Amino acid sequence: MKDLRFGRLKCYSLHLGILPLTVLVLVFFCFVCLSLRSQEWGHPGAVNSRTDVLVLTPWLAPIIWEGTFDIDTLNEQFRLRNTTIGLTVFAVKKYVVFLKLFLETAEQHFMVGHKVIYYVFTDRPADVPQVPLGAGRRLVVLTVRNYTRWQDVSMHRMEVISHFSEQRFRHEVDYLVCADVDMKFRDHVGVEILSALFGTLHPGFYRSRRESFTYERRPQSQAYIPWDQGDFYYMGAFFGGSVVEVHHLTKACHQAMVEDQANGIEAVWHDESHLNKYLLYHKPTKVLSPEYMWDQQLLGWPSIMKKLRYVAVPKNHQAIRN
């Protein structure tokens, strides 16, 4: 009996010895799973050092501010993947005057060290400026028609991007960034923004409650968002993601605008209203802070903004749009 009890005791001791090892293996396994999940959701891979701003959405997507990512690590990751980024911009009618500054500052600050294709959509291809480009970067000019109203020019971007995403972009680039031309890059905008789907917080509403968001509130519109719904208000001037996700977004927004037009209604903020509706029900995997969309002339430079990365160019809207 003593020998039997002693055998059981040894067995029990053995189990006690294995238990910590099992726990250690499980912890390691969970860490790996979380790491893979964070990569899938585009987590910047750095310990957050900001306590003065919101850095995580309710659905656990990172909000990108200065001090929340390690750009050296991210650059190495995306270079190993041999990533190519497409940047779409529309320079239609008088807006072509902004193109030179846009491209020059993009060469200084946008995805530096990575392969980039600038897709310039314009009705004035002869007016596209010759801007020196770095190694691995090229410019493609694509001709589009113009429209009498600037609102129509803006809204048809969704149709054009959707078409080219399916027919061309998916064969040439890994990610698409869709930007307004009447802006300039003022500081680093790099691979920290890249994810399956990203939107940018509107600089006028990033601290506001949803009741003040200028969503489309008329139920007759396909862009309608009820008063008790909404996460953030996103700017239509800077969004993107993988080519597949951008295609889904732009196609859905275009189809919604076509349906609105058939019903004789136009969303209050045009394509931006439809973008907000889409991102409400298709959550972005990254959200960019207002560092990536700012107007210093209107909003100054508050201390919360460590960097101003992509900023509005002072202009006379009425003169340019007409």
Active centre residues (catalytic)? 272
**Cβ partners under 8 Å of residue 19, min gap 6:** none
Neighbours of 317 (CB within 10 A): 9
Number of residues in the chain: 322
Contact between 196 and 285 under an 8 Å Cβ cutoff? The reply is yes
Give the separation between CA 248 and CA 83, rounded to whole angstroms: 21
Task: Decide: residue 86, CB within 10 A, 0-12 exposed, 13-18 middle, 19+ buried.
Answer: buried
> Which tokens go with 122?
């314009």
Give the separation between CA 125 and CA 102, rounded to whole angstroms: 16
**DSSP reduced 3-state for 297:** helix
DSSP state of 313: P
Contact between 245 and 197 under an 8 Å Cβ cutoff? The reply is yes
Contact between 79 and 113 under an 8 Å Cβ cutoff? The reply is yes
Residue located via tokens 């002072």: 314
DSSP state of 167: I
